A and B are shown apart, each in its own frame.
Chain A
Amino acid sequence: MSDPILQLNDVKTHFPITQGFIFKRKLGTVKAVDGVSLTLGRGEVLGLVGESGCGKSTLARTIMRLVPTTAGSVVLEGKNLTATSAQSARELGRQMQMVFQDPYASLNPRMTVYATLAEPLLVHGLCPPAAVPSRVAELMEVVGLAPRFMQKYPHEFSGGQRQRIAIARALALEPKVIIADEPVSALDVSIQAQILNLLAQLGRKMNLSLIFIAHDLSVVKHISDRIAVMYLGKIVELGPATDVIERPQHPYTRALVSAIPTPNPDVERSRQRIVLPGDPPSPVNPPKGCNFHPRCPYAQEKCKLTEPPLVAADATRTVACIRLGEI
């Protein structure tokens, strides 16, 4: 991709499992993110999907430097975030902001909306103190909240309104990249639609690049330009959103797409569903070879031996499956 804003090169985030308090013994490693390479274009919306425990949230936190990277690099506008000092990374990190899943937990209950939105402005010295109130009012208007609610506390708002506050907080620093980690999962469908519209509209208006993480494929398909599917710390398929959902190629993506119930009784009752056996395996002890082989309907002996690389399946799509041409 020409001129990506964000680039991940073989990023790994491993967590040690230790036992004991003083004499720590290392028992193993959770390979939460295990070799992810991605690019995010300017103004692009990249959807990241996968089931719980696949490492999608850890990847988001790794990009934000909320957890230390084990290997690989995160490059934002040509500058390697993983190699710089904490301070300059913070300076660079201003250009990336995060919106979290649960707006009930991500806002400080003792801070008014004004305090929440003014804090980043003052910390980073982005506007003179006298101009803060007008900037806060402006931010609230951008996300569709009336500025007269400035002195209210988070508990006085509904879930959807709280998520708007969280989005306004992310926008306060005028970031170039926003990482939204399941921003609509905790919301009802009618409210979910409002937040999706808002994110899409902000992305267009401010030319934001967005990484949108969700487990709901239909939501991701709706908002994203490209979709990356993760399984057990690795990306298994990456391609244009509509393509990936309508013509999935990796066996896992196929199963995932077929598992989503569609709100259309005739379609729902006539289609063939691939029901995967078992649960996702533990990332402490991932299967040898292809991570997915124990649950894969197409697995053969060779799948247990070699780890499949992510290779180009066509001009726009990459897939990590060695049997791709055969199935």
Chain B
Amino acid sequence: MSLLTVNDLRTYFHTRNGVYRAVDGVSFAVDRGETLGIVGESGSGKSVTCYSIMGLIPQPPGRIESGTAMFDGVDLLHSTAAQSRQIRGKRVAMIFQDPMTSLNPYMRVSEQIIEPLLIHEKISKTDATRRALEMLEAVGINDPEKRMNLYPHEFSGGMRQRVMIAMALITKPELLIADEPTTALDVTVQAQILELIRKMQKDLGMAVIFITHDLGVVSGLCDRVQVMYAGRIVETADTRTLFYHPKHPYTRALQRSIPSLQPKGSELYTIRGLPPDLSKPLPGCPFAPRCEFAEDKCVNTAVQLANVAPGHAHACLRAQLGEI
């Protein structure tokens, strides 16, 4: 029994220029204690998927058109406000890309960290503060008694991200959704934060959904990876299979365009064209216009994610037929 099961999620944005299908039929599951990576380029729908689960989609213009997200028997997409308050922020927590804009600049760090505790648990302020101190220590902030009473602007980027992680983990969530938590950080600081997420995951035994565009980060951290393109999942597999035996042409193209996997100075592989306009209907495979293997049937026939091996599924018609 999975911890979170998302089924046929569709999140559309109704704008003046038409209906923008940001997430268009996404299904996946996350087990307890597992790390799932979601990779994709900007606009692929990886963040919108997670925002939908967390109920963070501004409605309007957004609308969740269909789908369910079952977390331990409760559908997060159709639960009452009271029900979802019991889960969001307590059992499912989220951290964001930019720790400067996601912390409240007018509140002391201490107040922000204990807020989820005061809301979700019957706890006195003194006890909550004690827990916050422990948490700050656990995420590697030196001298937490003093630092706790500072404001976010008095911290560096890496330290702010640690504060965010402390805030997300203080209620001991079962699932952490991390939306590009290291993209805004320098590589040496990124290494610290990834190490921290790994350690906290082991200590708390929580599941993690890690959203990123960096295949390198995924390779070291995640058990399973799913690749998104144009609002759909195009391939999902365990990390080793995805990196060593990718089947979908988009996954393969992504790998071939990374400089570190190619011989120095060689011409990098480039994917021709641009991602599709999501406000136009896409009857066939969304990647077909840019795919070097595409045929007429790819453009016209709808393609579903299909299992090719246990735990390995992809949505390429020609690969499913064994043609490529």
Contact = CB atoms under 8 A, between A and B. Distances in A.
B192 A193 contact: no
B17 interface: no
Contact of A51 (B188, B265, B268): B188
A131 interface: no
Contacts of A194: 268, 270
A261 B269 contact: no
A277 to B, nearest CB: 8
B268 A263 contact: no
A221 interface: yes
- Interface centre among B216, B260, B274, by most chain A C-beta atoms within 10 angstroms, is B260
A218 interface: yes
Interface stretch (A31-39, A86-94, A264-272, A315-323): A264-272
Given A51-B187, A189-B41, A197-B267, A261 B216 contact: yes
A152 B69 CA distance: 44
A218 B260 contact: yes
A261 B239 CA distance: 14
A302 interface: no
Nearest to A262: B216
Given A190-B270, A197-B268, A264-B243, A222 B191 contact: no
Interface in B192-230: 192, 194-195, 213-220
A311 B21 CA distance: 58
- Interface centre among A52, A193, A222, A256, by most chain B C-beta atoms within 10 angstroms, is A193
Interface string A254-292: 011011111111101100010110011000000000000
B243 A263 contact: yes
Interface residues of A, number: 39
A212 to B, nearest CB: 12
Contacts of A258: 191
Interface residues of B, number: 44
Contacts of A301: none
Contact of A192 (B158, B188, B218, B257): B257
Interface string B244-260: 10000000011101111
B82 interface: no
B270 A51 contact: no
Nearest to B41: A188
Given A188-B42, A190-B254, A222-B265, A262 B188 contact: no
A306 interface: no
Contacts of B243: 263-265
Nearest to B43: A188
A263 B219 contact: yes
B187 A190 contact: no
B27 interface: no
Interface string A167-203: 0000000000000000000001110111011001000
B1 interface: no
Nearest to B182: A261
Contacts of B215: 189, 263
A189 B258 contact: yes
Contacts of A218: 258-260
Interface string B141-165: 0000000000000001111000000
A291 B187 CA distance: 18
A189 B220 CA distance: 19
Contact of A221 (B188, B255, B259): B259
A275 B192 contact: yes
Given A193-B268, A222-B264, A260 B216 contact: yes
B264 A242 contact: yes
Contacts of A197: 267-268, 270
A263 B259 contact: no
A202 to B, nearest CB: 13
Nearest to A50: B186
B271 interface: yes
Interface in A142-181: 158
A215 B189 CA distance: 12
A276 B192 CA distance: 8
B190 to A, nearest CB: 7
B240 interface: yes
Contact of B271 (A190, A262, A268): A190
A219 interface: yes
Contacts of A219: 259
- Interface centre among B187, B243, B265, by most chain A C-beta atoms within 10 angstroms, is B187
Contacts of A215: 186-187
A52 B253 CA distance: 30
B240 A265 contact: yes
Interface of B: 41-42, 156-159, 186-192, 194-195, 213-220, 239-240, 243-244, 253-255, 257-262, 264-265, 267-271, 274
Given A190-B270, A223-B265, A263-B215, 8 more contacts: A188-B41, A193-B271, A197-B267, A218-B260, A262-B219, A262-B220, A263-B258, A265-B243
25 contacts: A51-B189, A189-B257, A190-B41, A190-B257, A193-B257, A200-B267, A215-B187, A219-B259, A223-B259, A259-B187, A259-B190, A260-B216, A260-B260, A261-B194, A261-B220, A263-B255, A263-B258, A263-B261, A264-B219, A265-B240, A265-B243, A275-B195, A276-B191, A279-B158, A279-B159
Pick the 4 closest A-B CB pairs, nearest first: A261-B216, A218-B260, A222-B259, A268-B220
